[in-house]
Amino acid sequence: MKSHKQPIKAVLIGAGQRGTEVYGAYAIKYPDQLKFVAVAEPNSQRRSKFAAIHHIPFKDQFESWEPLLTKSPLGQAALICTQDQQHTAPTIAALESGYDVLLEKPMATTPADCHLLVQTAEETGHQLHVCHVLRYTKHFQTMRDIVQSGKLGEVINISHRENVSWWHMAHSYVRGNWRKREETSPMILAKCCHDFDLFVWILGRQCKYLSSVGSLRHFRPENAPPGAPLRCLDGCPVSDTCQYYAPFIYIDLVPLWRNFAEGASGFQKHAVRSQLKAPKVIKSLNTILPILKEISDYKGWPRSVVTSDPTPERVRQALIDGPYGRCVYHCDNDVVDHQVVSMWFEGDISVTLTMHGHAHSETRTTRIEGTQATLISYFGLGGSWIETYEHRSGRKNHYNTSATNGTGHGGGDEQLMAAFIESIKQGNQTTARTTAKQALESHLMAFAADQARLETKIIFMENYRNESKFS
């Protein structure tokens, strides 16, 4: 067994939102666990900012992953945080160079590449972890424990919803990085590879066949309000009433503060609510209380995606000339805004997944019908809970599954990192909750769901697992 008293040394490929704000932040918070020693990032501003924060010498800063991953390893771990279509090549290079790898989901954007990644990990003998963060949440771990304990009896049906908030949909899937299927991923892969993974993990069974329906229903030119220009700041006649008006989302940040208010507690909740009612008052008091400054000068997601170092002037300019200031009805998006997948699992279990981008707030809600009890659950920014209702006794059990560690993905981001680091220290992946091979199944289900929707057909997974090696 390998033992490391020092922090694990890691290289970062892609110092974007996830690389910097999640994994970079983890290394700052837990310096005894993780230390970044090199970075590859073509955007010079992001690269130098990350290098400065993590004290990375100039010689270990790279404009792209190739020169970094083709030399002898500079550490034990490589974190691949590039965009969806740029996962396969750096992951293979990192595994072949001798790194254990943490790879963002989706593993890759074709079934064949996902198979190839699993095969490369097996051939090189290095660890490949896929960021299925929800497996690491208290919420879904509790749900799995309940199902596996048999407290519900035999599971008959699961009805699960991924309710993407209307403004997150507009940000990521209409104006932003995941709007075009061919350039990134189908939305059912980008958003729901997590959910497919949960079904397989919670039930401990595989899907036999599935079908799917869905479309891009709303964010289309014919739904634009009369007279709406191509950009919000070009004199839009409905700027006072349109929920998608870009300054409402990115300058006033109203939807973000509403979601935060739902999740915050104590003084923080009070401060966020005050920001919604009287932002000028919060601004005028922000020199007295640092927490107020964090709110009035907020620079995190989604602002950090709109422009780096998001001062009010820079955000406004980015809305004038960048992609996030476009009218949501006049973008070049083509991914769906609603999709339903019907699945038939081993053991005659029916499962449905509803994904849509029109929810008032960001949640995942689940209902599991067992022969002896029903489980309902809510996983959201405002906290999470599970309730079970026993059929014979009528007893109700309540489980508070809100995150107690970190906030990202219900605490899953931090737990995933902790497990990754522990696996490297142990020298094997068995302490982690998922392997690349397990992650493969969820990705294949997502690709199959996309194909089933496009071709209006049922996909049999046993055939698909083999045939998809070449697609």
User: Residue numbers of the site for ligand NAD (CB under 6 A)?
Assistant: 13-19, 40-43, 46, 64-65, 81-84, 86, 104-105, 131, 133, 177, 190, 409
- Smallest gap from Cβ 118 to ligand NAD, in A, equals 17
SS3 readout for 389-429:
EECCCCCEEEEECCCCCCCHHHHHHHHHHHHHHHHHHHCCH
- Smallest gap from Cβ 40 to ligand NAD, in A, equals 4
Comparison of 302 and 370: residue with beta carbon closer to ligand NAD: 302
For strand 373-380 and strand 383-390, is the pairing parallel, antiparallel, or unpaired?
Answer: antiparallel
**DSSP designation for 172:** I
10 Å CB burial of residue 140 (0-12, 13-18, 19+) is: buried
* CA–CA separation, 324 and 162 (whole Å): 24
In the chain, what's the furthest Cα-to-Cα distance? 68
- Smallest gap from Cβ 239 to ligand NAD, in A, equals 28
* CA–CA separation, 389 and 396 (whole Å): 5
| Nearest partner of 82 among 55, 97, 101, judged by Cα | 101
Specify whether the CB–CB gap between 188 and 336 falls below 8 A: yes
Comparison of 83 and 110: residue with beta carbon closer to ligand NAD: 83
* CA–CA separation, 160 and 355 (whole Å): 9
Comparison of 105 and 161: residue with beta carbon closer to ligand NAD: 105
Comparison of 80 and 155: residue with beta carbon closer to ligand NAD: 80
Specify whether the CB–CB gap between 38 and 70 falls below 8 A: no
Residue nearest to ligand NAD (CB): 16
Comparison of 43 and 239: residue with beta carbon closer to ligand NAD: 43
Comparison of 142 and 177: residue with beta carbon closer to ligand NAD: 177
- Smallest gap from Cβ 412 to ligand NAD, in A, equals 8
Comparison of 177 and 438: residue with beta carbon closer to ligand NAD: 177
Specify whether the CB–CB gap between 194 and 441 falls below 8 A: no
Specify whether the CB–CB gap between 103 and 91 falls below 8 A: yes
- Smallest gap from Cβ 224 to ligand NAD, in A, equals 27
- Smallest gap from Cβ 431 to ligand NAD, in A, equals 19
Comparison of 190 and 306: residue with beta carbon closer to ligand NAD: 190
- Smallest gap from Cβ 387 to ligand NAD, in A, equals 26
Element (H, E) at 210: strand 207-215
Sheet holding 363-370: strands in order across? 396-400, 383-390, 373-380, 363-370, 155-165, 349-359, 338-345, 207-215, 459-460
- Smallest gap from Cβ 392 to ligand NAD, in A, equals 39
Comparison of 131 and 155: residue with beta carbon closer to ligand NAD: 131
DSSP character string of 332-376: ---S-SEEEEEEEETTTEEEEEEEEEEESS-EEEEEEEESSEEEE
- Smallest gap from Cβ 335 to ligand NAD, in A, equals 13
